[in-house]
C-alpha cells in the first residue's frame, strides 16, 4: 500500500540515470558511424577504437539489466522481447569488438578501407531506445499509486479532542480512539467517521457522493471522515478510526482494483516466443551449415552470416512498432483534449461495449443553478425571484448562490435584507423592503403555519424532474416556488445518442436519490440507472457487469468514483473533477466533455490498426531478410548479406515503422456532435 512518504520508484531512478548518462555517448557513436568518413583527419582505425570506447559503457553498463533479463528468460525457458534484445545487442557488440581487436581473423573480402565493418552504433542505439521505452512504461506504472496518495492526503492531519475535564487540544489523527469527542469547526474537515452529539451544520460530502449540495447534519446524524464542515460548529463522537473509516475502505478498493488489473498483453508479445525460437534456430542452422558445407574459410563465413541473421532480426523495428504508434496517438489525442495514461487504455477502449457514467460533473455541470420561479396567489415570477434573491444575499449556501446568480443574470435589482437568520436544515428568514420573508423547505413552511397542500403536486413534479424546490412566503402568505437544479451539460444528450449508435450500453450510477437519477436518465434516454450508490456500490456494479462478460468503461469526476474508475477495464475521468479521479483513471477528458470519448474510441481503433501494420512491416523485413542473411541466395547468385547491409536493412525497417506511425498524427476524427435536443434539460440535483 503506497503512503504519503513513498519515494520515487528505485527502478525508475536507476533506469533514468543509465539512460541520461549514456545518451550522449550513443549519439556520438551514431554520428561517428554515419559521418566519420567525412573527417579525413580522423583515421578509420582511430574512429573504430573511439566507437568501441564510447560503446562499452552504453552496452555493458546501461544495457546490463537487459542482459540479465535475457539470461533469465533463457534460464526459465520463456523467451521474450528481452531475449531478442540481449542476443541482438550481444551479437552486434561482440562481433564488432572482435573485428576491432583482431581484424586479421576475417578474410580480405570482408575488409573495407583496411578494416572490417563494425556495428557499435547498432548496439548502442538499441540499448538507448530500449531504455527509453522502459522509462515511459515505469513512469506510467508509478502513476497508479498517485490516486491512493491523493486519497490519503484528503484526511486531516490532526483532530481537536475534547477531554473529560472540558479542555481541548489538537492531537495527531492516529491518536484518535473510538469514543473520543471531537470538535469540528466551520471550514474544517471531519477527522474520522462518527455521530453528531452537539450542534447543527451542513456537511459537503461531494468527495463521497458526488452531490454538490451540502447535507444538513444535526444531533444523532452520522458523519464521514474527510468530508468538509461548511457553516456550523459540531461536536462528534468518533465511531470508526484508522483502517475502518470509509475513506480507508475507498483507499483499499482503489489499491485492490489496481493490483488486480492484468498487465497489458501487447500484440508483439503474443508472437515473441516463436519469433525468438525461429531466429535462434535460423542463426544456429546458418552457423553450422556454412561451417560444415560452405566454401573456405568456411567457419569465418559461418560466423559472419550467423551474426548477419541476428543483426537483421534484432527487434529494433519490432520494439518500435507499438511504442511509436502509442506515442503519436497520445499526442494526437491530447490535441483534442483526451489524455491517455498508458498504452493499455488505447488498446482496450475500442473493445468497450458498456459505459457507466456518474451524474454530477459528468452528465451535469456539477454545480447548482437557478432553473425557474413559479408565482402563486397573485404574485409574479420576477417579484418572487427578486425577493428570494434579495433575502439569499446573506446566505453562504450553494443553493442561495444559485438563486442570487439567476436574479442578476436576469437584470433584477436586489434589495438589502435585514434581520437575516439562517435556520440550519430548514432555510432562511429575514425582512426585505418591510416584508417578512421566509425561503426554505416544507418543514419551514409548516413551522410558520403556512398551508402547502394545494402546491404539493407542483413541488413534487419539480422534484421528479430532478430539481430542488424551495417555498417563498411573504408576510405569512405563500408567494411562490423557486427551483434550483444541477443543469445537464449542453452536449450530453447528443453525445449519449452517438455513443449508443456506436453500440455502447449507457448505465448511470450516482449517489443522488432515485427520483433525481431517474429524471436525468429519462431525459437523456439512458439504458440503465442506479441511484443512491455509494463508492463500494459503483465498484461492485463494475465487477458485476464484467462478470457478465461485458467490457466496461467508467466515466466520473469525483473521489467517490475512484474505486470504480480503477476497477473498470478503462477508467475515464473528467478533467474538471478531482485529482483522485484523474489519478485512478486511464483516460482523462481535459474539458470534462463526454464528446471526448467518441474521439478517443475512434483513435483507439486507428491506433491498434496502425500497430498491426507496424508489426507487419517489422515481421516482413525479418521474413525476407533472415533467409537472405542466412545465405539462401548464395548457391544461385553468389550473393551474401554482409552485417553492414543487415544493419542497413534493420534501419530501413525501423524507418518504415516510424513513418507509418506518424500517419496517425493526421488521422481524421469525428466532429463533435451538436446538441440535437431541446436545450431545456431536466436538471439533476438533490431533493428537498
Q: pLDDT tens digits, residue range 593-613?
A: 777 888 888 888 888 888 888
What the block records as the C-alpha cell of 400 is: 442561495
pLDDT bucket at 637, cuts 50 / 70 / 90: confident
Residues 6+ apart with CB under 8 A from 387: 432, 435, 437, 472, 474, 479
Looking at the predicted structure, is the pLDDT value of residue 132 above 70?
yes
Give the CB-side neighbour count of residue 475, counting CA atoms within 13 A: 6
Are 182 and 242 contacting, i.e. CB atoms less than 8 angstroms apart?
Answer: no
Over the stretch 471-484, which tens digit does the pLDDT of each residue have? 999 988 899 999 98
Instruction: Please report, rounded to a whole number, the percentage of residues in the chain having pLDDT higher than 70.
Output: 81
pLDDT in tens, 94-103: 888 988 888 7
Measured in Å, how far apart are the chain's first and last C-alpha atoms? 41
pLDDT in tens, 447-466: 888 888 777 788 888 877 77
The span from the CA of 536 to the CA of 542, in Å, is 10
What pLDDT does 681 receive? 35
DSSP notation for 563-624: HHHHHSSEEEEETTS-HHHHHH-SEEETT--THHHHHHHHHHHHHHHHHHHHHHHHHHHHHH
Q: Please state, in angstroms and rounded to a whole number, the distance separating the CA atoms of residues 526 and 521.
A: 5
Closest to 596 (Cα-Cα) out of 574, 581, 566: 574
Question: Residue 674 above 60 pLDDT?
Answer: no
- Kindly state the percentage of the chain with pLDDT values over 90: 17
Of 305-314, 348-357, 537-546, least confident by mean pLDDT is 305-314
Q: What is the mean pLDDT of residues 166-195?
A: 91
The CATH architecture annotation of domain 158-242 reads Distorted Sandwich (2.70)
Which region, left, alpha or beta, applies to residue 33 given φ > 0 means left and ψ of -120 to 50 means alpha? alpha
- CATH for the stretch 369-485: 3.40.1110.10
Question: Could you tell me if 594 and 555 are in contact, meaning their C-beta atoms sit under 8 angstroms apart?
Answer: yes
What is the layout of strands, in order, in the sheet containing 158-162? 168-172, 158-162, 181-184, 234-240, 193-198, 222-223
Provide the pLDDT for residue 4.
56
Query: Does the pLDDT at position 561 exceed 60?
Result: yes
CA-to-CA separations, 435 to 43, 417, 478, in angstroms, rounded? 100, 10, 13
> 339-364+489-596 has which CATH code?
3.40.50.1000
Res 646: pLDDT: 62
Cβ-in-10-Å burial (0-12, 13-18, 19+) of 195 comes to: middle
What is the structure's pLDDT at 673? 45
Q: At 20, is the pLDDT very low, low, confident or very high (cuts 50, 70, 90)?
A: very high
The DSSP 8-state label assigned to residue 174 in this structure reads: G
Pairing of strands 427-432, 435-440: antiparallel
Domain spans in the chain, listed from the N-terminal domain onward: 158-242, 339-364+489-596, 369-485
Q: Is the dihedral of CA 280, 282, 285, 287 positive or negative?
A: negative
271-296 burial, b at 16+ Cβ within 10 Å, e below that, comes to ebeebbeebbebbeebbebbbeebee
What whole-number distance in Å separates Cα of residue 629 and Cα of residue 279? 11
Output the pLDDT for position 582.
60
Nearest-angstrom CA–CA distance, 589 and 593: 6
Query: Pick from 580, 596, 583: which is nearest to 341 by CA?
Result: 583
On average, the pLDDT of the chain sits at 79
DSSP-derived secondary structure letter, 665: G
Q: Which residues are catalytic?
A: 358
State residue 134's pLDDT score.
Answer: 75
Sheet of strand 201-204: strand arrangement = 215-217, 201-204, 228-229
In this prediction, residue 671 carries a pLDDT of 54
**Run of H or E including 116:** strand 115-116
pLDDT of the residue at 642: 60
> What order of strands is seen across the sheet that includes strand 477-485?
369-375, 477-485, 468-474, 435-440, 427-432, 417-423
All three cell numbers of 85, joined, read 534484445
H helices of 472-578, where?
A: 492-501, 514-524, 535-547, 562-567
- The tens digit of pLDDT for each residue in 491-527 reads 788 888 988 988 899 999 887 777 778 888 888 889 9
pLDDT in the model for residue 440: 87
Say whether 369-485 and 158-242 share the same fold: no
CA diameter of the chain? 115
pLDDT, tens only, 89-131:
888 798 889 888 887 776 665 555 445 667 788 788 878 877 8
In this prediction, residues 26-37 reach a mean pLDDT of: 85
pLDDT tens-digit profile of 359-390?
877 788 777 888 889 998 888 999 999 999 99
Q: Which three cell numbers stand for residue 57?
A: 559503457
pTM of the model: 0.59
pLDDT of residue 261: 38
DSSP 630: H
Helix, strand or coil for residue 329? Answer: helix
Amino acid at each position: 500500500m503506497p503512503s504519503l512518504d513513498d519515494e520515487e520508484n528505485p527502478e525508475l531512478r536507476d533506469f533514468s540515470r543509465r539512460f541520461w548518462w549514456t545518451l550522449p555517448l550513443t549519439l556520438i557513436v551514431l554520428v561517428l558511424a554515419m559521418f566519420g568518413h567525412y573527417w579525413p583527419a580522423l583515421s578509420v582505425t582511430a574512429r573504430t577504437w573511439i566507437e568501441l570506447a564510447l560503446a562499452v559503457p552504453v552496452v555493458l553498463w546501461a544495457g546490463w539489466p537487459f542482459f540479465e533479463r535475457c539470461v533469465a528468460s533463457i534460464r526459465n525457458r520463456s523467451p521474450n522481447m528481452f531475449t531478442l534484445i540481449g542476443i541482438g545487442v550481444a551479437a552486434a557488440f561482440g562481433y564488432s569488438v572482435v573485428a576491432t581487436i583482431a581484424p586479421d581473423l576475417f578474410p580480405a573480402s570482408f575488409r573495407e578501407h583496411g578494416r572490417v565493418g563494425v556495428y557499435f552504433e547498432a548496439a548502442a542505439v538499441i540499448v538507448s531506445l530500449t531504455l527509453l521505452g522502459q522509462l515511459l512504461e515505469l513512469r506510467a506504472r508509478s502513476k497508479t499509486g498517485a490516486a491512493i496518495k491523493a486519497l490519503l492526503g484528503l484526511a486531516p492531519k490532526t483532530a481537536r479532542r475534547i477531554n473529560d475535564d472540558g479542555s481541548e487540544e489538537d492531537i495527531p489523527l492516529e491518536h484518535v480512539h473510538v469514543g473520543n469527542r471531537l470538535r469540528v469547526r466551520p471550514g474544517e474537515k471531519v477527522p474520522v467517521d462518527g455521530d453528531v452529539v452537539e450542534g447543527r451544520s451542513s456537511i459537503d460530502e461531494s468527495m463521497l457522493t458526488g452531490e454538490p449540495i451540502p447535507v444538513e447534519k444535526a444531533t444523532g446524524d452520522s458523519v464521514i471522515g474527510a468530508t468538509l464542515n461548511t457553516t456550523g460548529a459540531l461536536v462528534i463522537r468518533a465511531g470508526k478510526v484508522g483502517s475502518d473509516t470509509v475513506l480507508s475502505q475507498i483507499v483499499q478498493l482503489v489499491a485492490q482494483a489496481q493490483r488486480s488489473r492484468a498487465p497489458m498483453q501487447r500484440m508483439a508479445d503474443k508472437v515473441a516466443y516463436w519469433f525468438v525460437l525461429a531466429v535462434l534456430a535460423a542463426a544456429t542452422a546458418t552457423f553450422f551449415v556454412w561451417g560444415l558445407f560452405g566454401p573456405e574459410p568456411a567457419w569465418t563465413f559461418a560466423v559472419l552470416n550467423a551474426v548477419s541473421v541476428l543483426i537483421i532480426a534484432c527487434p529494433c523495428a519490432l520494439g518500435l512498432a507499438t511504442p511509436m504508434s502509442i506515442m503519436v496517438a497520445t499526442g494526437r489525442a491530447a490535441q483534442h483534449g483526451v489524455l491517455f495514461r498508458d498504452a493499455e487504455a488505447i488498446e482496450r477502449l475500442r473493445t468497450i461495449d458498456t459505459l457507466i457514467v456518474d451524474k454530477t460533473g459528468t452528465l451535469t455541470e456539477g454545480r447548482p443553478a437557478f432553473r425557474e420561479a413559479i408565482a402563486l396567489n397573485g404574485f409574479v415570477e420576477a417579484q418572487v425571484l427578486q425577493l428570494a434573491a434579495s433575502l439569499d444575499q446573506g446566505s453562504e449556501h450553494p443553493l442561495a448562490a444559485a438563486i442570487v446568480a439567476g436574479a442578476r443574470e436576469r437584470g433584477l435589482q436586489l434589495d438589502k435584507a435585514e434581520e437575516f437568520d439562517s435556520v440550519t436544515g430548514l432555510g432562511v428568514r429575514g425582512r426585505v423592503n418591510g416584508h417578512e420573508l421566509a425561503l426554505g423547505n416544507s418543514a419551514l413552511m409548516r413551522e410558520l403555519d403556512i398551508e402547502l397542500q394545494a402546491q404539493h403536486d407542483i413541488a413534487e413534479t419539480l422534484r421528479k424532474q430532478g430539481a430542488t424546490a424551495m417555498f417563498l412566503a411573504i408576510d405569512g402568505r405563500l408567494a411562490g416556488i423557486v427551483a434550483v437544479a444541477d443543469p445537464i451539460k449542453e452536449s450530453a444528450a447528443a453525445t449519449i445518442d452517438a455513443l449508443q449508435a456506436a453500440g455502447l450500453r449507457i448505465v448511470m450510477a450516482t449517489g443522488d436519490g432515485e427520483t433525481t437519477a431517474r429524471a436525468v436518465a429519462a431525459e437523456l434516454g439512458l439504458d440503465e440507472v442506479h441511484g443512491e450508490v455509494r463508492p463500494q456500490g459503483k465498484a461492485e456494479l463494475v465487477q458485476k457487469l464484467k462478470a457478465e462478460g461485458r467490457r466496461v468503461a467508467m466515466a466520473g469526476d469525483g473521489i467517490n468514483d475512484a474505486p470504480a474508475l480503477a476497477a473498470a477495464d478503462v477508467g475515464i475521468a473528467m478533467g474538471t473533477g478531482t485529482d483522485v479521479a484523474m489519478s485512478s483513471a486511464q483516460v482523462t477528458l481535459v474539458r470534462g466533455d463526454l464528446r471526448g470519448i467518441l474521439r478517443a474510441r475512434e483513435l483507439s481503433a486507428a491506433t491498434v490498426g496502425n500497430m498491426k501494420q507496424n508489426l507487419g512491416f517489422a515481421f516482413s523485413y525479418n521474413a525476407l531478410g533472415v533467409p537472405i542473411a542466412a545465405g539462401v541466395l548464395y548457391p544461385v547468385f553468389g550473393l551474401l548479406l554482409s552485417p553492414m547491409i543487415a544493419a542497413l536493412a534493420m534501419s530501413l525497417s525501423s524507418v518504415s515503422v516510424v513513418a507509418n506511425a506518424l500517419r496517425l498524427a493526421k488521422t481524421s476524427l469525428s466532429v463533435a456532435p451538436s446538441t440535437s435536443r431541446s436545450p431545456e434539460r431536466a436538471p439533476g440535483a438533490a431533493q428537498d
